[in-house]
A and B are shown apart, each in its own frame.
Chain A
Amino acid sequence: MVTPMLSLSDVTVSFGEAPALSSLSLHVGEGEVYALLGPNGAGKTTTLNLILGFLKPDTGTILVDGVDASVNPIGARAKLAYLPETVMLHPALNAVENLQYFALLAGRKVAPGTARTLLQEAGLQEEAHDRPASGFSKGMRQKVGVAIALAKEARLLLLDEPTSGLDAGAANDLSDLIRAASARGTAVLMATHDLFRVKDVAHRLGILRAGHLVDERSVSSFGAADLERLYLDALAQ
């Protein structure tokens, strides 16, 4: 049994009268890649915001490597690296400078050489390393974001729609990076619509619908076509 790096137990949160999440429980262990599937408005980003401590749950507990995110959100965030759906870098800084800046925020001083290696590992071409981020495509920004997350060496990686807007090559590079992180023991929670990527990298998946976790299972037990049917069935119920 893997050690839970992330643990949500019976988490409920409402925005006014409308419940956004109801009794959500999920656990992600060390080295495990967990895909959280669901249509827009299902509660995926709300779940991430709760883990990040940007929101407080009405009930339930959220533990990040044993730190309660609703009690000590700063301590919880220190344990994880978060990659939003759209990575917005400082447009005036180049890729290396952006990585160094965000790594500093994460408490790590990264030398330019190391920054270049991390960017290379994240799939950003060398000629882009010294270009201002204002001219970067979404995929390039995403790669810098991944490199920043790698630089933090966090034990939990939160990815919000990581492949959204990426071309096939970039998405494939990202899959490789997620697998590599997982192999190093990093737990990954990935909120996504991308069923193909889920089949490609995730160990387990959970399907959210209107704030309820309607299904949760291991990915290895079925094929890509089964996954799509399962997802559509779950949403149709």
Chain B
Amino acid sequence: MIVDLARAELRILRRDRSAWWALLALAAFILLAFAGTTLDAARGNADKAAIAAAERARWLGQGDKDPHSAAHYSIFAFKPAPPLVGLDSGATPFVGQAIWLEAHHQNDLLHRPQQGASLLQRAGLTSPAALILGIGPLVVFLLAFALVAQDRERRTMRLALGLAKHPRLIVGGKALAIWIAATGLLVVPVSIASATTLVLSGAFSPDAGARLALWAALMATYLALPAAIGVLVSLRARSARIALAILFGSWILFGLVLPRLASTTVDDVRPLPSSQAVHQQMLEEAPAYWTAEQSERHKRQLLAKFGVARIEDIPNARMAEMDLVERHSHDVFDRILGGFYGRVAAQDRLFATFGLLSPTIAGQAISASLAGTDFSHQRDFIDTAERYRRDLVNRMNAEGMAHSAGGAERYTADVRLWGDIPEFAYSQPPLGTGMRDILMAILALGLWIGVAWWLLRMAARRITP
């Protein structure tokens, strides 16, 4: 019965030109945004693959040299765009996509997509998730206004109430129709487009499929919320005009004001040090021989490690010192950068908690996590690249230490060693990465849905013409 009613309500919606065309326009915009972001990502991935191949050739062709010099010669590592970046670009435009991996330094990431973004992209209107989460509720409110508030104003609701077996049928049919229309046009087509793109590009995997299914489910669940709120307000407001004002005001508050307020509050409550300050701290603390005391302590460590009395008795003392310096810097980077990244993650968790105030915030946090474009996924790339860098530098230093070379003498390696180093390859971590950071957002969204559902049930019982 309720499905038949929803079908009838959908027919009414389709014939209400203003609301339906607004929905269609947004649906088209979402598909356009998906196509644009996906094409950008595909072009970016192709460029990254080509440069990575050239980098590999450069690495292999660097000629014979001291392995530690090779560790300085080093290589670029690139982060491929996540398979679902076309659905939600998340933090991707604002974080670097490439990193220079070299001895002694954990460098900053380079090439933020935002640096070359168009005006539209800079306005944040290029991601389907941003459009569904941001503009979606406004269009859903318009549908609710057309289907409920106008019914009341036209007094069609009075006839319906006088005939309905139960007011729940009126409310349920309308809410279901709005939700089906919104989900069917805003979520389903872009999800199908994304699935098709994944398959055609060969990027489909069970993990990507599960992420896509959950992302679509998230968006569908999220849209149920404005559908319920829109129907609720349209039912309870004293007039259609007041309903429209409340709905528009709610959209501004929950979709625009609160997310920005939350972001500002997070910055104030959990401020981050500037990247210059972080780098300055690393510069100050990473060098192992900065002070005479440190130098002496490390010298004793080397003598003990090689079981000799003099530095000159170490087979390749210079390389051994380099290795010690390198390993010392790892601890420093882990402590300083690890702490910094931990603070960024804490910011994300606090922001997700603000989902209790605005479902848009909760939706943003969960969507980016599912699409693999939030900071926890970026952190995974940073950590993977850093592990690769350390393995590479340690391997180069180990090769040097394994060969005697005293004074100004240098041991040199060749392409056989360079070829032993595997190419840098990165694939997205499995679904669930960074789940801890979005737990509050999931809880908040569930709470919002539960409260809206309960209020709608109550409103259905007390509905008046």
A56 CB to nearest chain B CB (Å) = 11
A102 close to B159 (CB less than 8 A): yes
- With both beta carbons as reference points, the residue of chain B lying nearest to A81 in the complex is identified as B163
CB-based contact A152/B163 at 8 Å: yes
Contact with B along A49-66 (1 / 0, CB 8 A): 000101000000000000
Bound: A74/B457 CA distance, A: 14
A contact residues around B16 at 8 Å (CB):
92
Q: Is the interface of B mostly helix, strand, loop or mixed?
A: helix
Chain A 106-126 residues near chain B, CB threshold 8 A: 106-107, 109
**Residue among A82, A89, A91, A107 making CB contact with B162, cutoff 8 Å:** A82
B167 interfacial by beta-carbon distance below 8 Å: yes
Which residues does chain A contribute within 8 Å of B5, judged by CB atoms? 101, 104-105
A side interface size, CB within 8 A: 32
B8 touches which of A83, A87, A97, A152 (Cβ 8 Å): A97
CB of B158 closer than 8 Å to a CB of A? yes
Is B200's CB within 8 Å of the partner chain A?
Answer: no
Q: Is B11 in contact with A88, judged by CB distance below 8 angstroms?
A: no
**Interface presence of B192 (CB below 8 A):** no
Q: Which of A90, A105, A145 contacts B165 (CB 8 A)?
A: A105
A97 to B14 alpha-carbon distance, docked (Å): 14
> Which listed residue, B15, B155, B160, B465, touches A102 by the CB 8 Å rule?
B160
Interface residues of B in 165-204 (CB under 8 A from A): 165-167, 169-170, 173
Name the distance in Å between A110's Cβ and chain B's nearest Cβ.
11
Do B11 and A109 touch across chains, with their CB atoms under 8 A apart?
no
A227 at the interface (CB under 8 A from B): no
Q: Chain A residues with Cβ under 8 A from B4's Cβ?
A: 104, 109
**B459 to chain A: closest CB distance in Å?**
13
A93 interface residue (CB < 8 Å to B): yes
Contact B1 A109 (CB under 8 A): yes
Tell me, yes or no, whether A224 is within 8 Å of chain B by CB.
no
User: Does the CB pair B8–A100 fall under 8 Å?
Assistant: yes
Selected from B12, B169, B465, the residue in CB contact (under 8 A) with A90 is: B12
Complex Cα spacing A109 to B214, Å? 36
Q: How near does chain A come to B135, taking the closest CB pair, in angstroms?
A: 25
B154 CB–A CB distance under 8 Å: yes
Q: Report the nearest B residue to A109, measured CB to CB.
A: B4
A11 to B160, alpha carbons, bound, how many Å? 26
B167 touches A88 (CB 8 A): no
- Judge whether B458 is part of the interface by a CB distance below 8 angstroms: no
Q: Which residue of B lies closest to A101 (CB)?
A: B8
B313-356 interface bits toward A, Cβ cutoff 8 Å, 1 = contact, 0 = none: 00000000000000000000000000000000000000000000
Q: Are B156 and A149 in contact (CB under 8 A)?
A: no
Cβ of B11: which chain A residues have Cβ within 8 Å of it? 92-93, 97
Q: Which of chain B's residues have a CB closer than 8 A to the CB of A83?
A: 159, 162
Contact A74 B166 (CB under 8 A): yes
Kindly list chain A residues whose C-beta atoms are within 8 Å of the C-beta of B166. Answer: 74, 78
**Bound form: Cα–Cα A84–B173 in Å:** 22
B169: nearest residue on chain A (CB-CB)?
A: A105
Chain A nearest Cβ from B166, distance in angstroms: 6
A133 to chain B, nearest CB (A): 10
Q: Is A148 an interface residue (CB 8 A)?
A: yes
Instruction: Determine whether the beta carbon of A105 is less than 8 Å from that of B154.
Output: no
A107 with B159, Cβ < 8 A, contacts A90-B12, A100-B8 known: no
Q: Contact check, A84 vs B12: say whether CB atoms are below 8 A apart.
A: no
1/0 per residue A208-233: CB within 8 Å of B? Answer: 00000000000000000000000000
Nearest A-chain residue to B2, judged by Cβ = A104
Task: Let me know if A86 is at the binding interface, CB within 8 A.
Answer: yes
- Find chain B residues with CB under 8 A from A101 CB: 5, 8, 12
Are the CB atoms of A106 and B15 closer together than 8 Å?
no
Bits for B421-465, please: 1 = Cβ < 8 Å to A, else 0.
000000000000000000000000000000000000000010011
The answer to whether B161 has its CB under 8 Å from any CB of chain A is yes
Is A158 engaged at the interface, CB distance under 8 Å to the other chain? yes
Contacts of B151 on A, CB cut-off 8 Å?
Answer: 90
The answer for the CA separation of A82 and B164 in the assembled complex, in Å, is 10
Task: Please name all residues of chain A whose beta carbon is closer than 8 Å to the beta carbon of B15 when the two chains form the complex.
Answer: 92-93
Docked-complex contact B163 and A105, CB < 8 angstroms: yes
Residues of A within 8 A of B159 (CB): 82-84, 87-89, 102, 145, 148
> A179 an interface residue at 8 Å Cβ cutoff?
no
In the complex the two chains form, is B167's CB within 8 Å of A74's CB? yes
Q: Which of B1-43 contact A (CB under 8 A)?
A: 1, 4-5, 8, 11-12, 15-16
Q: Is A77 a contact partner of B155 (Cβ separation < 8 A)?
A: no
- The CA of A104 and the CA of B284, in the complex, are separated in Å by 76
Q: Which residue of B lies closest to A54 (CB)?
A: B464
A128 to chain B, nearest CB (A): 18
A106 and B165 form a contact (CB under 8 A):
yes
Which B119-169 residues sit within 8 Å CB-CB of chain A? 151, 154-156, 158-167, 169
Interchain nearest-CB distance for A167 vs B (Å): 21
B156 contacts which chain A residues (CB < 8 A)?
A: 88-90
Residue numbers in B under 8 Å from A80 (CB-CB): 162
One digit per residue, 1 when the CB lies within 8 angstroms of any chain B CB and 0 when it does not, for chain A 65-82 equals 000000000100110111
B72 to chain A, nearest CB (A): 73
A105, B465: Cβ atoms closer than 8 Å: no
- Supply 21 A–B pairs (Cβ within 8 Å), ascending by A: A52-B161, A52-B162, A54-B161, A77-B161, A77-B163, A77-B164, A82-B163, A83-B162, A84-B155, A84-B159, A88-B156, A88-B159, A90-B151, A92-B12, A92-B16, A100-B8, A101-B8, A105-B163, A105-B173, A106-B163, A109-B1
Given contacts A101-B12, A104-B1, 5 further A-B contacts (CB under 8 A): A52-B161, A102-B159, A106-B165, A109-B4, A158-B162
